[in-house]
């Protein structure tokens, strides 16, 4: 039986049709933070256990000249820069949104005692296998029981995970779970332009909330030019490989399965639009206009 007949059979059979409709109607709202398919995809492509944009010492490097090894090296460099900012006051470090745990061995090699935290099931599974000796908290940071971890951590790290946190919950909690002289080291991007797509906190709003919740920005370095090569690399791949592959698949479908193509014809422009919209988020020029990527160190001033 051909593809088209197989699909048609499901729609013609009343029991199958009922199942299609009820599965679609009763679909659960997925909590993306527990099973982030996008981060899972990155972790399969990037073998270095990092899920951030990396840091290129040479921001003028062209996307066409970048190799995967250079991306791994840039990611390691980014992690090293972050760890260099730790002031060594105390060993207990909480790596919030630890991803695939790439930072953990680096912290250990410098004598720190890291605790990892992530809400993501794939990441928890991976880290618990690879680093069974490292304490691992499986939850969103906002859901961490503050009283249980009160004053426990000397250093807090958010490596490209601050953008996911709800500031009104996370900022006071960062205060609660850390020691009186705690340091918070963060690296992430912020929205500065009005036209920026949704991800990232607004920089001005973030600065206001910092003050309210007892944190002071002690150090700030704009590393946007240094992370842009990775974005340009992803954009290049999406445009030169991803889009032509999509067009090729659609043309093949039209020739090999015209019935199936006919059934999908109205939905295809929407799929294409979605891909193009996603590609826009990694358009280096759009990113540079609307976002700022910062390496930051915060000092605890405490809640009044």
Ligand X SMILES: C[S@@+](CC[C@H](N)C(=O)[O-])C[C@H]1O[C@@H](n2cnc3c(N)ncnc32)[C@H](O)[C@@H]1O
State the residues that interact with ligand X by CB under 6 A: 33, 36, 39, 50-52, 96-99, 102, 117-120, 123, 140-142, 159-161, 164-165
Shortest Cβ 264–ligand X spacing (Å) = 32
Cβ neighbors of 100 (< 8 A, separation 6 or more) are: 43, 49, 50, 51, 123, 126, 127
Shortest Cβ 50–ligand X spacing (Å) = 4
Task: Choose between 117 and 134: whose C-beta lies nearer to ligand X.
Answer: 117
Shortest Cβ 219–ligand X spacing (Å) = 19
Shortest Cβ 114–ligand X spacing (Å) = 12
Give dist(CA 79, CA 88) in Å, integer.
Answer: 16
Shortest Cβ 298–ligand X spacing (Å) = 17
- How many CB atoms are located within 10 Å of the residue 256 CB? 11
Question: Residues 213, 298: contact at Cβ < 8 Å?
Answer: no
Task: Choose between 102 and 260: whose C-beta lies nearer to ligand X.
Answer: 102
- DSSP-derived secondary structure letter, 162: G
* Residue closest to 178 by CA, chosen among 288, 302, 29: 302
Task: Choose between 178 and 260: whose C-beta lies nearer to ligand X.
Answer: 178
Report helix, strand or coil for 113.
strand
Give dist(CA 103, CA 47) in Å, integer.
Answer: 13
């Amino acid at each position: 039986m051909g593809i088209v007949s197989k699909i048609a059979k499901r729609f013609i059979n009343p029991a199958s049709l009922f199942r299609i409709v009820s599965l679609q109607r009763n679909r659960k709202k997925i909590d993306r933070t527990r099973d982030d398919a996008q981060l899972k995809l990155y972790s399969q492509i990037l073998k270095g256990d990092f899920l951030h944009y990396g840091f290129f010492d040479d921001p003028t490097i062209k996307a066409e000249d970048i190799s995967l090894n250079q991306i791994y090296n840039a990611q390691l460099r980014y992690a090293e820069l972050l760890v260099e900012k730790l002031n060594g006051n105390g060993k207990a470090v909480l790596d919030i949104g630890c991803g695939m745990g790439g930072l953990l061995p680096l912290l250990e090699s410098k004598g720190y005692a890291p605790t990892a935290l992530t809400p993501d099931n794939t990441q928890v599974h991976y880290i618990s296998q690879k680093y069974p000796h490292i304490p691992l908290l499986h939850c969103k940071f906002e859901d961490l029981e503050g009283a249980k971890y009160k004053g426990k951590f000397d250093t807090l790290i958010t490596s490209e995970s601050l953008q996911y946190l709800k500031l009104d919950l996370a900022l006071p909690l960062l205060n609660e779970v850390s020691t009186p002289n705690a340091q918070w080291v963060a690296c992430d991007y912020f929205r500065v332009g009005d036209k920026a797509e949704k991800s990232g906190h607004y920089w001005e709003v973030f600065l206001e909330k910092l003050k309210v919740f007892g944190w002071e920005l002690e150090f700030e370095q704009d590393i946007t030019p240094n992370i842009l090569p990775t974005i340009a690399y992803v954009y290049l791949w999406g445009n030169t490989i991803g889009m032509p592959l999509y067009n090729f698949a659609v043309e093949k479908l039209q020739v090999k399965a015209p019935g199936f193509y006919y059934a999908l014809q109205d939905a295809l422009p929407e799929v294409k639009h979605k891909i193009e919209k996603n590609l826009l988020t990694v358009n280096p020029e759009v990113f540079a206009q609307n976002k700022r990527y910062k390496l930051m160190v915060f000092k605890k001033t405490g809640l009044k």
